[in-house]
């Protein structure tokens, strides 16, 4: 497994990270045994960064990771945890809480569920519009001083917010959606991160499966799968986006790659400071994703891929309108 440094001040990490969200019901039912086996396979392959959130399955994902890392495996893993998203018992999203007291309370519960005494990278999942980012990051910085957190990250925030946060405490990385069909960070956010020495952990590299080569239109109708409400997975938008995936598939096949491998390799080719988060729930999907490391895309390859999936060609926004309104990264 190739390694990388996560930003100027962050830890050494594997070139790929494992995004564990889908193991806790966000994409419909998941198989617990297969989830645990997938995490084990990731560790065996040399992956070190495991990304979770305290609101994934309302603690379920953290408890799952705790189980997967028993038996001395915790020291082999970097735990990247998002906090602050608020959900009601029905699973509805009801806001974000970035108050210092809420930050420290959330961390207390996370440490308990993960069965650990420190978190490697702790990050607010979104910007709380009612709390200055300096206050939220300052609270996490207090936890760094106390030894409960090793590094601070950010998620889905814009360039101005990144600069304000970095003025309070060094930021290891920004977690943000980045793929062939989600490229808005390239204009202002990515340059700001590179100026400040902040790494990128890119989630949604396959646009939640849409450009993986495996998506079938009926899949989004599974109970509990939030993709069924996503604009890119609905009606004509879905058909147009699947046509992009098919165009990508033709380019990939000609180069001996799967569609997913081409999409992931494209993200990797955008810079050594960018870590793709692989959202695999199964060992076969994980193995396919890791296989993308075997390919080095030339300038010609990149041009062909981008001709198949031009910037801005995706139909529909990456989240529903209400959620997009809460994204500081999209303002």
Bridge partners of 179, per DSSP, are 182
Active-site annotation, residues? 56
Res 225: pLDDT: 74
Choice between 28 and 300, residue whose per-residue pLDDT is larger: 300
What average pLDDT does range 8-32 have in this prediction? 92
- The pLDDT assigned to 28 comes to 78
Exposed (0-12), middle (13-18) or buried (19+): which is 88, by Cβ within 10 Å? exposed
For residue 29, what pLDDT band results from cuts at 50, 70 and 90? confident
**pTM score of the predicted model:** 0.94
pLDDT number for residue 314: 93
* Mean per-residue pLDDT, 291-307: 96
Q: Given pLDDT bands bounded at 50, 70 and 90, which one contains residue 46? A: very high
Quote the pLDDT of residue 222: 62
Selection from 160, 161, 93 nearest residue 131 by Cα: 161
* CATH code assigned at 279: 3.20.20.100
> Given pLDDT bands bounded at 50, 70 and 90, which one contains residue 26?
confident
pLDDT the model gives residue 219: 58
- Mean pLDDT, residues 184-196: 97
pLDDT at 317 over 80: yes
Q: Is the pLDDT of residue 59 over 80?
A: yes
Give the closest residue to 152 by CA, choosing from 174, 131, 130. 174
Choose between 224 and 302: higher pLDDT: 302
Q: Give the residue from 82, 75, 73, 76 showing the smallest Cα distance to 24.
A: 82
Give me the pLDDT at residue 223, please. 58
pLDDT value at position 165?
Answer: 98
Task: Identify the domain containing residue 48 by its residue range.
Answer: 3-330
Please give the pLDDT value at position 276.
Answer: 98
Q: Which of 25-29, 61-65, 75-79, 217-221 has the lowest mean pLDDT?
A: 217-221
* Lowest mean pLDDT, pick from 69-73, 99-103, 313-317: 313-317
Q: Which helix (H) or strand (E) holds 152?
A: strand 149-155
Instruction: Return the exposure string of 118-128: e unless at least 16 CB atoms fall within 10 Å of the residue's CB, then b.
Output: bbbbbbbbbbb
Q: How many CB atoms lie within 10 A of CB 49?
A: 25
Please compute the mean of the pLDDT values over residues 254-273 and round it to a whole number: 97
Cα separation of the two ends of the chain:
36
Count of C-beta atoms within a 10 Å radius of residue 300: 8
Q: How confident is the model at residue 51 (pLDDT cuts 50, 70, 90)?
A: very high
Overall number of domains in the chain: 1
Burial category of 235 from C-beta neighbours within 10 Å (exposed 0-12, middle 13-18, buried 19 and up): exposed
Q: Quote the pLDDT of residue 221.
A: 57
CA 218 to CA 144: how far, in whole Å? 45
What pLDDT is attached to residue 315?
Answer: 86
Q: Extract the tokens encoding 178.
A: 């980045």
Identify the pLDDT of residue 23: 96
Give me the torsion for CA of 87, 88, 94, 99, rounded to 10°. -60
Q: What is the pLDDT of residue 17?
A: 98
Token output for 78? 């970097």
Average confidence score pLDDT of the chain: 94
- Flag whether pLDDT at 176 surpasses 90: yes
Query: For residue range 234-260, what is the model confidence (pLDDT) as tens digits?
Result: 889 999 999 999 999 999 999 999 999
Could you give the 3-state DSSP secondary structure of residue 111? helix
């Amino acid at each position: 497994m190739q390694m990388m440094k996560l930003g100027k001040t962050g830890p050494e990490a594997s070139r790929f990270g494992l995004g564990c969200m889908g193991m806790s019901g966000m994409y419909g039912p998941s198989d617990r045994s297969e989830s645990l086996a997938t995490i084990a396979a990731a560790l065996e392959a040399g992956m070190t960064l495991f990304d979770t959130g305290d609101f994934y399955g309302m603690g379920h994902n953290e408890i799952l990771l705790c189980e997967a890392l028993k038996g001395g495996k915790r020291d082999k893993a970097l735990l990247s945890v998002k906090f602050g998203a608020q959900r009601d018992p029905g699973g509805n999203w009801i806001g974000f809480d970035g108050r210092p007291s809420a930050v420290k309370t959330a961390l207390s519960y996370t440490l308990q569920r993960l069965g650990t005494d420190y978190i490697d990278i702790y990050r607010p999942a979104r910007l709380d519009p009612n709390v200055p980012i300096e206050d939220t990051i300052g609270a996490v910085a207090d936890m760094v001083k106390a030894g409960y957190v090793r590094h601070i990250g950010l998620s889905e925030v814009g360039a101005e917010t990144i600069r304000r946060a970095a003025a309070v405490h060094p930021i290891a990385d920004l977690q943000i959606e980045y793929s062939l069909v989600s490229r808005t960070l390239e204009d202002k956010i990515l340059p700001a991160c590179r100026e400040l020495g902040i790494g990128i952990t890119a989630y949604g590299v396959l646009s939640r499966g849409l450009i993986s080569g495996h998506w079938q239109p009926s899949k989004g109708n599974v109970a509990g799968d939030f993709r069924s409400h996503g604009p890119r997975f609905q009606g004509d938008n879905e058909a147009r986006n699947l046509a992009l995936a098919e165009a990508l598939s033709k380019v990939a096949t000609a180069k001996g790659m799967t569609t997913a491998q081409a999409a992931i390799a494209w993200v990797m080719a955008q810079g050594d400071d960018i870590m793709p988060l692989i959202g695999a729930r199964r060992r076969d999907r994980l193995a396919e994703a890791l296989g993308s490391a075997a390919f080095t895309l030339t300038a010609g390859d990149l041009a062909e891929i981008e001709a198949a999936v031009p910037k801005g060609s995706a139909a529909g926004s990456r989240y529903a309108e209400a959620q997009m309104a809460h994204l500081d990264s999209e303002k």
